[in-house]
Every structure is written in structure tokens, then in C-alpha cells.
Structure 1
Amino acid sequence: MSENNPLRDVFDAIADPTRRRLIRLLAEAGELPLHKLTAPFSMGRTAVSKHLRILKEAGLVVDRKVGRETRYRLNAFPLKEIQDWVAFYSVFWSANMSRLNQFLEEEEE
């Protein structure tokens, strides 16, 4: 589970392409109401709301009421967990590729 929010793991939350697309929409637009978040998808508000709930449980989305409508915005801080995980393996692969490159150069000589 994520240290940021014990309700849902960040990796689980971003595993779905629809949720990744919602994250991108919110990153680009800032804050959006549900009806505008639903427009780009071929699904209803209920389905989009379920995806938003999962993102909210992971701490990736924050909502607020404005009159009768709920507006959503991205909280990108939990994505740092993923960035750190990827960075570790990036270093791992970089080191292994360097060793492979060195080995191949030695074989050519």
C-alpha cells in the first residue's frame, strides 16, 4: 500500500488506462467538474466516478464541492512513489547496459 494513503496503492490506481487518462486530463486542465471529465470517454458519469474514487483513495485526486457540482484536481505528490521506484530500476538498467557495453567492446578487441 502507499504510504500516502492507506486506502489504495498508487500503483494499483494508475494500472488502469482510463485512470491514467483522467490523471493526464487533470494535469493539463487543473480542476474540472465531473461532466467535463466524462466527455472524452465512451462511458457514463457513474463509471468515471468509480475511477475517480479509486484515484481519490490513492490520494491522487482531491475533490471539492462548488454549489451542486463536484470539481476534481490532481494531487501529483503520490506519483513520487512511482518516480522513485522507476528511478531505482533506471539506475539498475543503466549500470547493466554499461557492463554489457564494456563486455562487448572487450570481446571485439
Structure 2
Amino acid sequence: MVKFEDTALDRTFAALADPTRRALLVRLSAGEHLSVSDLAEPFAMSLPAVMKHLDVLADAGLITRNKTGRTVACRLSAAPMEQAMAWLQRYQQFWSEALDQLAAYVEEPACPPAPVSRSSDTSPPPRKKSSARGPIRSKS
């Protein structure tokens, strides 16, 4: 079995793959510091489930947590996303060229349709159907 190295980029993409974690990041991007209970409020899941999502985000370096007394506040950390964007930009040129070629192909004028003959005088009359079947052979 091949075992790949667990890099920061892998952890970033794995963390961003989940829609709940992306929603948590969106909420954090709107505010400076939010407590874990404030982050968990709109989600229909238990606080421990939200804490597991926050653990994945923290392991990927996408959030930082600060504990003040009994309150844990979370803050967005964009550095790993910048690294992921840098990785994606390497492929942007390839995809841009491929999409430009596709757009050029789609925008090409279509072949002109073949002219339609409107004259019924030149068309041959319809063929008659054949008559009844021939004699049936007997099996011997």
C-alpha cells in the first residue's frame, strides 16, 4: 500500500472539502473573533460535532483558537488558503487556454443547412406495396 506524506496543502484541501467547515470559515470571515458556541449556533448538530470540525480546521492552520477563562474564541487564519491558491494558480494557465479553445469552438459559425427542395413535381410517385405472399412450403 502506498502511503502519501501528510503535507499542509493536503490538510488544507481536506479541511475545505467539507461544506460545514466551509460554512464555519465564512462565518469567521464576517467577524473578528467568535466563540465556539456562537459558531455552533446556526448548525443543526451537537457542540461536540462542531468542535470536531473546528479541530480539523485548526490542524490545517485555517483557524486559531484563544481561550479566555471558559470561553474559546476562534479566528480565521488565511495563510494556508494563500498557499492553496498559489498551488491552484499553476494550473490556471492550462485551464484558461483550454476554456478559451472551447469558447472559440462553440462560437464558430455552424455549417449552412442544405437547400430544401420545395418542388413536388419532380419527386417519383410512391411505390406500391407488394401483393400477398407466395405459396407456403409444406414441411416433409
Q: What range describes the TM-score normalised by the shorter chain of this pair?
A: 0.7 to 0.9
SS at match of 1:40: coil
Structure 2 partner of 1:96: 98
Structure 2 partner of 1:69: 71
Q: Which has the larger radius of gyration?
A: 2
SS at match of 2:56: helix
Give 5+ residue unaligned stretches, structure 2: 1-6, 112-140
**Counterpart pick for 2:33 among 14, 31, 34:** 31
Q: Which amino acid aligns with 1:49?
A: M
* Cα distance between partner residues in 1 of 2:18 and 2:91: 22
Post-superposition Cα deviations, 1:31-86, rounded to whole Å, max 9, x if no partner, equal: 10011001010011100000000000000010001111110001011001221233
Computed over aligned residues only, the root mean square deviation of the Cα atoms, in angstroms, reads 2.3
Structure 1 partner of 2:59: 57
* Cα distance between partner residues in 1 of 2:91 and 2:23: 24
Structure number having the greater helix percentage: 1
Q: Which amino acid aligns with 2:26?
A: R
User: Do residues 14 (structure 1) and 16 (structure 2) align?
Assistant: yes
Structure 1 partner of 2:130: none
Residue 97 of structure 1: how far off its partner (Å)? 2.6
Q: Percent identity?
A: 37
Give 5+ residue unaligned stretches, structure 1: none
SS at match of 1:43: coil
Q: Answer 1 or 2: higher relative contact order, Cα 8 Å, separation at least 6.
A: 1
